[in-house]
Amino acid sequence: MPVLYYIRHGETDWNLQQRLQGHRDTDLNARGRGQAAHCGDILRELFVRDRRAAADCAYVSSPLMRARQTMELVRAALDLDPRDYQLDDRLIEISFGDWEGLTLPEIEARSPDAIAAREHDKWRFCPPGGESYRDVAKRVGAWYATVARDTVVAAHGGVARSLIAHFNILPHEEAAHADIRHGVVYVFAGGSMARYT
């Protein structure tokens, strides 16, 4: 099984405002750019520890700008060409459909039962016009089946949760609630996940 060095994109202003981003294309803020560069430093230390060259890995990102900006800052920190990486649509964030741009309190004010339904079964819950974590896990699993070598990934919290379920690190419902932070490198290897800060 190829190792994944997984990085959630750095912080955006919508993260600060706790707005659901989904497929919306938002930029990193200043803190997010610092978090991305920090992840590059973490990766450099991991590669030194493991006696491997940064260039030995594949690099792939979600096509959304916040993930691409993160990848480019990570690669620059590793002294690699910032733009020499692949994009894969299957790594795009979970779609929140009609909820994108809203906060959970705003959604609850419009549709009081919706948040309760989501919390009751977050793995299968599908917002209006969006997708469920189960849907995301199918496309992420299909992507991982094509991974041929150890890979650095810049993507999203929802994609990381789907990988946690795909690798059976946590049961599906627990994986859907996993806390995936900015500025952390998650290493998926041998059916487990380690965090490096």
Q: Among 9-13, 81-85, 113-117, 167-171, which stretch is predicted with the lowest mean pLDDT?
A: 113-117
Total residues found in the chain within this entry: 197
Task: Give the largest Cα separation in the chain, rounded.
Answer: 54
CA 35 to chain centre: 14
Reading phi first (left if > 0) and then psi (alpha if -120 to 50, else beta), residue 168 is in left
pLDDT digits (tens, 9 = 90+) for 129-188: 999 999 999 999 999 999 999 999 999 999 999 999 999 999 999 999 999 999 999 999
The hierarchical CATH code for the domain 4-196 is 3.40.50.1240
What residues are labeled active site? Answer: 9, 93
Query: pTM above the 0.85 mark?
Result: yes
Instruction: Report helix, strand or coil for 3.
Output: coil
Mean pLDDT of all residues in 9-21: 98
Domain ranges of the chain: 4-196
Asked whether 31 and 10 are in contact (CB, 8 A), the reply is yes
pLDDT digits (tens, 9 = 90+) for 22-54: 999 999 999 999 999 999 999 999 999 999 999
- Cα–Cα nearest to 131, from 103, 156, 164, 158: 158
DSSP labels, 44-83: HHHHHHTT--GGGSEEEE-SSHHHHHHHHHHHHHTTS-TT
175 vs 156: CA distance, rounded Å? 14
Residue 146: partners with Cβ closer than 8 Å, 6 or more residues away:
none
Average pLDDT over the chain, rounded to an integer: 97
In this structure, the dihedral spanned by the alpha carbons of residues 65, 68, 73 and 79, taken in order and rounded to 10 degrees, is -150
